Chain A
Amino acid sequence: MSNLKILINGIVKENPTFVLMLGMCPTLGTTSSALNGMAMGLATLFVLVCSNMAISLFKKLIPDAVRIPSFIVIIATFVTVVQMVMQGYFPELYKSLGLFIPLIVVNCIVLGRAESFAAKNGVIPSFFDGLGIGLGFTLALTLLGSLRELLGTGKFFSLSVYPDQYGSLLFVLAPGAFIVLGYLVAVMNKLIKSN
């Protein structure tokens, strides 16, 4: 499989949110606005790329029996780096994403890619896999966040589109997240099948 194919695979065919249905907790929890969704996606993207590369680089040094704890330590290290950088340089964003940042450690997408891809492939393909899956996750979260923000508050990336009293609060709350996600998955399935 070529690197480009790996990249596209992560965005479309194995999109973590719409196809694999992984990492639902941050997906539903952080997408109350487009910016929050995108920031969460980018944080996960960074962790995915770094952990995928580190794990594929050191896979020979990690005995099979202790691979899960090793992966978790590597992933947790990168997550903590993201957390500290965000806290220091983007305090507003950190405030709104809050607990979801440290929870990237237990995001099953990250560990899933480490186990199923990075532990079996070289550094370069692992990089593209992390990038593809990360971009797929970012795009999905941004799309979900944009729709919820637009339907709920009448804004798109905080820019007013229509007066917010016409927005439906439902879409800002958790049930709205499920509804929008459901429709997006349906649309995505239709598109993949028709291809």
Chain B
Amino acid sequence: MKKLKSTLPNMFFSLTLICIVAAAILASVNEITAGPIASTKQAALEAAIKAVTPKYDNNPVQEATSIVAADGDSLMLYPAKLGDSFVGVAIETRAIGYGGEMTILVGFDGNGTLVNYSILQHAETPGLGARAEKWFRTDKNKQRVIGRSMKKGTLTVTKDGGDVDAITAATITSRAFLKAINKAYNAYAKREADADSGATLQETNIFSSARKEGGIK
């Protein structure tokens, strides 16, 4: 067979043929891999939710809603319930770090205590900002944010007058990390306050237990 000459019909024919074959191959591979891709994504999200919330028995992914943060960003909220009672939430939040956007899944329990966090995606410097995954869990000096009550106010690094130790040589990452967590909590607190018709406008402590403890001053 001789090589096809570069005439218009030939070019048209060959490109069309290649594209049809390529499309057919991709469609069939997509058919095979669509299931596994969806299930690995789902499994990763569920594992992350499980890690950051108290024990639950509902399906947070199915009951997910979105909430609007102060800066207009819309965040996904996954409610965790045990039986009929509400035990906590996982919120997917984000902020711009040193190397780009960081996506963090953060969990609070019913009293506004930070249960745990999981960094879903980041582009921070390896060895510096990338240590955030471990740093804010480590119980050393004022590094640990897990177990802190968000009712006492937002989290800030010590450099900015707060009480959280920033990652050594990665203050920008630390600020972004705390900003994302504060953003998630505030958005959540605001929504709860709006939903609670009995609440006064000034009240930002949203949980009933908080009120009992004398949250309104």
Contacts and interface: CB of A to CB of B under 8 A. Distances in A.
B127 interface: yes
Interface stretch (A57-65, A127-135, A180-188): A57-65
A73 B25 CA distance: 12
A84 B14 contact: no
Contacts of A85: 29, 33
Interface residues of B, number: 31
A35 interface: no
A87 interface: yes
Nearest to A81: B29
Interface range on chain A (Cβ under 8 Å from partner) = 20 to 34
Contacts of A81: 25-26, 29
Q: Is the interface of A mostly helix, strand, loop or mixed?
A: helix
A59 B20 CA distance: 17
B26 A65 contact: no
A58 B4 CA distance: 11
Contacts of B22: 73-74, 76-77
A16 B15 CA distance: 29
Interface of A: 32, 58-66, 69-70, 73-74, 76-77, 80-81, 84-85, 87-89, 91, 152-153, 169, 172-173
Interface of B: 1-7, 10-11, 14-15, 17-19, 22, 25-26, 29-30, 33-37, 40-41, 44, 125-128
